[in-house]
Structure 1
Amino acid sequence: MIITIYKVDENLRKKLFSMFENMDNTMILSYLQGHMGHAWVDDLENPTAVQVVVGDFLFYAGNPNTKGAEELLYNLPEDSLVIVNTDEWKNRIETIHKGSIEKFKRYAFKKNAKYLHCEHIQSFLKALPEGYELKKADKTLAYDPSFQELSEDFTSQFESIDDYINRGTGYCILYDGQVVCGASSYSIYDDGIEIEIDTHPNHRRKGLATIAASALILDCLDRGIYPSWDAANLQSVNLAQKLGYVLDDAYDTYYIRNIRHI
């Protein structure tokens, strides 16, 4: 029996909010609000299961126990980070992808700007080591090979680098004219961004990530948008807490190695 899944158009996208009402993740909002990403469903008229894809992240909602849901769970990019919020979905993932998954924790923080005190965050900018330069990511920097080589994720969720400059935001630290650290918008939604930070291995343990993140956070707060932080490891948790973020919860995430491509 052939099971068909369907790519979601703009009209249906607006009807999917209720299926994700219990999932508090800004990347879901990035899709639902029409900024980036795409989605698939098991039925165009009355979807019972949905998959949202934003970059490397996949989110599922609805009924996990249908044939359509199973097909959606096979509808994967080359490598996927899958997030669900019910035990039923987790059991379905662990059954279908047994032997091809790694389960680990990510860490969510309370999304409230009251915890982010500008004076405290501003103080970190004074620690920029000699020989390094902090700059906002403009068009020249965004096109610089060292920016892209540091992390494709700075711009890869946008339609183009120009689109990133128009809709995204970021700060870079340069050394000898090369971008060696960056804090940038991985994704965007109506009221904020999801932060992505990377530092070149040769320039770590110098506080550069703290400085770049501080500049980005202050810029966001000044513009009235929220700099959302979601941590993939305890090192990221510690940096977030240093800046003022308050840990909310740890949640399960699945890394699924490629089985079938989208």
Structure 2
Amino acid sequence: MIYEADINVRKKLVPMFENMDSTIVLSCLQGHMGTAWVDNLENPKVAQVTVGIFVFYAGNPNTKEAEELLFNLPDYTLAIVNNDEWKLLIEKVHKGSTEKFQRYRFEKVPEHLDVSYIKNLLSTLPEGYELKKIDKTIVNEPSFHELSEDFISQFNSIEDFLDRGVGFAILIEGKAVCGATSYSIYDDGIEIEVATHPDHIRKGLATITASALILDCLNRGIYPSWDGANIESVKLAQKLGYIFKESYDTYFIDYQK
């Protein structure tokens, strides 16, 4: 049997997930967003952390609760684990329903992000475009949400995002064509989400919105964490100053409840 973990139980899970190197995990364990599940509320041996589509597993995979947790999934799942035993269990339990691919981690070192250099990137905004910090008007603009459903999806509401989140958008004639926001938040920073409308790519817009968001975070003493979903994201991160750390296995699980 599995149990949902409150904030007090989540604190017990920190050592179990310490090798994950994920700020999204921290956002859950620190109580900001997401859910956590365990096999035992007093002395957990295996645990699951879920924030949106991201699901993380840690602890002892050789338990019946571990397999139970592997069926405790959102409608769309990207599962991440920290050892080969867990990988083999995922491949066994969801045989024929998984696709393994690579995501990309970066060093989380604020000193790697050169403020002067990043400020210079902001000067390249093409004519006709306007860079703005996301406010109530932008966050209620349909074109903003059409860029990415994940811009504010981990927050409880639009008001919650405006209160706890942060982001910047590039507009043309009042329509959002690029955005960079806090996908998730944790005590010391955010995880960045960036998206550009297909009709406006190759113009440096993602670089500019991400730069604005990074500078805003650094000015407030919080860290803008970057985790790459593809090679394009890796290249953009490196352009901004992030130092590549490693690639890691991620499982898309196509599980029909």
- TMscore range, shorter length: over 0.9
Q: Calculate the TM-score normalised by the size of structure 1.
A: 0.96
Equivalent in the alignment of 1:230: 227
Q: Give the secondary-structure state (helix, strand or coil) at the position aligned to 1:103.
A: strand
CA deviations 1:128-169 (Å, max 9, x no partner) are 111100000011111111111211211110011100001000
Residue 157 (1) aligns with residue 154 (2): yes
Residue 60 (1) aligns with residue 87 (2): no
CA deviations 1:207-230 (Å, max 9, x no partner) are 100010010001111111000000
Amino acid at match of 1:97: H
2:81 to 74, 78, 84: 84
Q: 1 CA distance for matches of 2:22 and 2:58?
A: 13
Equivalent in the alignment of 2:26: 29
Residue 175 (1) aligns with residue 172 (2): yes
Unaligned runs of 5+ in 2: none
1:20 to 17, 20, 23: 17
Q: 2 CA distance for matches of 1:21 and 1:176?
A: 46
Q: 2 CA distance for matches of 1:136 and 1:258?
A: 38
For this pair of structures, how many residues does the alignment match? Answer: 257
Amino acid at match of 1:216: L
Q: 1:106 Cα shift?
A: 0.5
CA deviations 1:162-217 (Å, max 9, x no partner) are 00001000000001110010000000001100000000111111110001001000
Q: 2 CA distance for matches of 1:43 and 1:119?
A: 49
Q: Calculate the TM-score normalised by the size of structure 2.
A: 0.98
1:6-17 matches, cutoff 5 A: 6-17=3-14
2:117 to 117, 120, 126: 120
Equivalent in the alignment of 1:210: 207
RMSD of aligned Cα (Å): 0.9
Q: 1 CA distance for matches of 2:32 and 2:195?
A: 23
| Percent identity of paired positions between Structure 1 and Structure 2 | 66
Unaligned runs of 5+ in 1: none
Q: 1:10 Cα shift?
A: 2.3
Q: 2 CA distance for matches of 1:22 and 1:210?
A: 30
Q: Which runs of 4+ in 1 moved over 6 A?
A: none
CA contact (8 A) 2:7 2:30 kept: no
CA deviations 1:36-78 (Å, max 9, x no partner) are 0001112222221100000110000111111100000011111
Q: 2 CA distance for matches of 1:218 and 1:5?
A: 42
Q: 2 CA distance for matches of 1:130 and 1:213?
A: 18
Equivalent in the alignment of 2:108: 111
